[in-house]
Amino acid sequence: QVQLVESGGGLVQPGGSLRLSCAASGSIFSINVMGWYRQAPGKERELVATIANSGRTNYADSVKGRFTISRDNAKNTVYLQMNSLKPEDTAVYYCKANIALPGSYDYKYYWGQGTQVTVSS
């Protein structure tokens, strides 16, 4: 019923930039927090950044000053602008959203399928 679809991943050289997008679709009443997480090979999934529907943001220390999260509430879409990319940013990036379905105020978390980001020369 609800789908999160990420796009924008790819291969980029160190110091380069990428912009990820994640669009939520389906029967949606309301979206609270949206965010990005990542998982590198052999490591646990970790938080990258989150944004509330108020616009309040939160970032992992490792990406502060380099990444910017934003959202378009009219499009149910969250973005992640990644600048000054480093090899250690290489990971599968996942979108996560806290969504309530029509007729309910019960918010549940949904995940996207992930998009690969590789930073390498």
3-state secondary structure of 39: strand
Nearest to 52 by CA among 87, 80, 78: 78
User: E-strand spans in the chain?
Assistant: 2-7, 10-12, 18-26, 30-39, 46-51, 57-59, 67-72, 77-82, 91-100, 107-111, 115-119
Q: How confident is the prediction for the chain on average, in pLDDT?
A: 96
32 close to 44: Cβ distance less than 8 angstroms: no
Dig out the tokens for 49 from the structure: 């950044």
Whether the predicted pLDDT of 7 surpasses 90: yes
- Give the rounded distance of the alpha carbon of 36 from its chain centre: 3
Whether the predicted pLDDT of 105 surpasses 90: no
